[in-house]
């Protein structure tokens, strides 16, 4: 299905009334080139030309800053309970999705749902999605079954997908979410970060990682490109520890199989189960993070569950961007 382009980035596309009004306000600052540009030689002294160039550049920067100052609040603003526009390749689907309503795509049907003005959801065939809440700063949907591809450009937490008591919270990024009828599913992050929150347990998933979840258990972030043996060992150890047991052989195997790119999986595993710091996973994580030589006191504090000790190594990892607007490429499909 060919999805329509955002009129903010494709001027040839029609926009809504608010966007048209904004264009009229900023129209006076639009650059209109001459039909036949004729180069001319300035006779002004070099210093005067430099001052004139700086003045023109400063005026352009000021105009751009003004445009952003007007555009950004408009982009983030959304009237409470205002419906979201829907574009679909099937006439049977509605043109908008209102709070409390459900959108269902059939076999072979695709749909694109605007997330207010901050992004879009692309629904695959046989997907069922409900709009739960929408207003400036907070937009929530519920994915019952199927698959959605989300592209969001907004402050962290502005958009989220509800799943019973759990929630997938966007931190300014691009991600895919699958949900099956039995409650199991998968989250894969393509850009930025996403947080999976379930009953007080929060699991961060960065770009390049995926997370499997079920109705009664949330897995650990894993690289889709990680060797199958490593991923299977991590999943098995997670379930063993969840049952309250240790498996020294499995810990040794994971430490041996872990690549430098698997540092985030190791960090998440040791954060969820601090007692693992007593075994081989701690020195392997230290090696991948460049935290050698080992600090015995730090290791002991980690094993006892010290939040300070754990956070000291989290600070070595790239974190969700506080300056979310720098991920401007996420606006463009």
The CATH number that applies at residue 198 is 2.60.120.1440
User: What is the number of structural domains in the chain?
Assistant: 3
Residue where one domain finishes, among candidates 158, 188, 213: 213
CA distance 224 to 206: 12
User: What pLDDT is attached to residue 327?
Assistant: 47
Report which of 86, 85, 99 is spatially closest to residue 134, judged by C-alpha positions.
99
User: What pLDDT is attached to residue 119?
Assistant: 94
Q: Is residue 10 part of a domain?
A: no
Q: Is there a single domain that holds both residue 136 and residue 193?
A: yes
Q: Is there a single domain that holds both residue 150 and residue 197?
A: yes
Q: Which long-range CB contacts under 8 A does 65-69 form with residues at least 24 apart?
A: 66/29, 67/26, 67/29
Instruction: Provide the token pair at 3.
Output: 């999805």
For residue 162, give its domain range: 84-213
Which are the contacts of 93, defined by CB distance < 8 A and separation ≥ 6? 86, 103, 105, 109, 111
**How many Å is the Cα radius of gyration of the chain?**
25
Contact 211, 219 (CB under 8 A): yes
Q: Is there a single domain that holds both residue 138 and residue 179?
A: yes
Q: What is the pTM of this model?
A: 0.76
- Can you tell me whether residue 57 is helix, strand or coil? helix
Q: Is residue 114 part of a domain?
A: yes
User: What pLDDT is attached to residue 275?
Assistant: 97
Q: Is there a single domain that holds both residue 111 and residue 209?
A: yes
Q: Is residue 268 part of a domain?
A: yes
Q: Is there a single domain that holds both residue 91 and residue 143?
A: yes
H or E element: which one contains 18? helix 17-26
Q: Is there a single domain that holds both residue 94 and residue 170?
A: yes
Q: Is the dihedral of CA 112, 114, 115, 117 positive or negative?
A: positive
Q: Is residue 297 part of a domain?
A: yes
Q: Is there a single domain that holds both residue 176 and residue 245?
A: no
CA distance 135 to 155: 14
Place of tokens 């600090």: 295
Report which of 195, 216, 213 is spatially closest to residue 205, judged by C-alpha positions.
195
Q: Is residue 319 part of a domain?
A: no
Q: Is the dihedral of CA 56, 60, 65, 70 positive or negative?
A: positive
User: What pLDDT is attached to residue 89?
Assistant: 84
Q: Is there a single domain that holds both residue 199 and residue 260?
A: no
Q: Is there a single domain that holds both residue 110 and residue 203?
A: yes
Q: Is residue 64 part of a domain?
A: yes
Report which of 138, 25, 129 is spatially closest to residue 79, judged by C-alpha positions.
138
The series of mean pLDDT values per 10 residues for the chain, 333 residues long, is: 50 56 50 48 58 60 50 80 93 93 95 96 97 96 97 93 91 93 95 90 94 94 96 97 95 96 96 97 93 87 95 81 46 45
Q: Is there a single domain that holds both residue 173 and residue 287?
A: no
CA distance 281 to 257: 11
Q: Is residue 323 part of a domain?
A: no
For residue 158, CA distances in Å to 122, 137, 153, 319 come to 18, 5, 9, 18
Q: Is residue 9 part of a domain?
A: no
Instruction: Examine residue 293 and say whether the peptide bond preceding it is cis (omega within 30 degrees of 0).
Output: yes
User: What pLDDT is attached to residue 129?
Assistant: 97
Q: b/e map of 48-80 (b: 16 or more CB within 10 Å)? A: eeeeeeeeeeeeeeeeeeeeeeeeeeebbebee
Q: Is there a single domain that holds both residue 88 and residue 72?
A: no
Helices (H), 43-127: 46-76
Q: Is there a single domain that holds both residue 66 and residue 88?
A: no
User: What pLDDT is attached to residue 92?
Assistant: 85
CA distance 113 to 99: 13
């Amino acid at each position: 299905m060919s999805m329509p382009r955002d009129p903010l980035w494709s001027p040839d596309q029609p926009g809504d009334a608010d966007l048209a009004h904004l264009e009229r306000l900023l129209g006076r600052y639009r650059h209109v080139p001459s039909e036949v540009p004729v180069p001319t030689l300035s006779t002004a002294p070099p210093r005067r030309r430099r001052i004139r160039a700086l003045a023109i550049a400063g005026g352009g920067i000021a105009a751009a800053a003004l445009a952003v100052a007007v555009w950004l609040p408009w982009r983030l603003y959304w009237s409470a309970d205002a419906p979201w526009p829907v574009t679909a390749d099937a006439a049977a689907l509605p043109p908008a999705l209102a709070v409390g309503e459900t959108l269902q795509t059939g076999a072979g049907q695709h749909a694109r749902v605007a997330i207010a003005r901050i992004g879009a959801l692309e629904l695959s065939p046989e997907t069922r999605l409900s709009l739960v809440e929408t207003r400036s700063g907070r937009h929530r949907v519920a994915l019952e079954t199927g698959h959605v591809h989300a592209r969001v450009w907004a402050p962290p937490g502005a958009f989220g997908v509800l799943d019973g008591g759990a929630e997938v919270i966007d931190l300014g990024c691009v991600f895919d979410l699958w949900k099956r009828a039995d409650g199991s599913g998968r989250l894969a992050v393509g850009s930025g970060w996403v947080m999976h929150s379930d009953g007080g347990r929060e699991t961060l998933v960065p770009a390049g990682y995926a997370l499997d979840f079920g109705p009664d258990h949330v897995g650990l972030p894993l690289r889709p490109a990680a060797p199958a043996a490593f991923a299977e060992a991590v999943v098995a150890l997670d379930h063993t520890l969840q049952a309250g047991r240790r498996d020294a052989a499995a810990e040794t195997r994971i430490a041996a199989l872990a690549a430098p790119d698997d540092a985030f999986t190791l960090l998440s595993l040791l954060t969820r189960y601090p007692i693992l710091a007593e075994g081989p996973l701690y020195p392997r994580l230290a090696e991948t993070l460049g935290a050698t030589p080992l600090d015995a006191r730090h290791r002991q504090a980690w094993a006892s569950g010290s939040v300070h000790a754990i956070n000291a190594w989290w600070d070595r990892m790239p974190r969700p961007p506080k300056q979310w607007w720098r991920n401007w490429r996420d606006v463009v499909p």
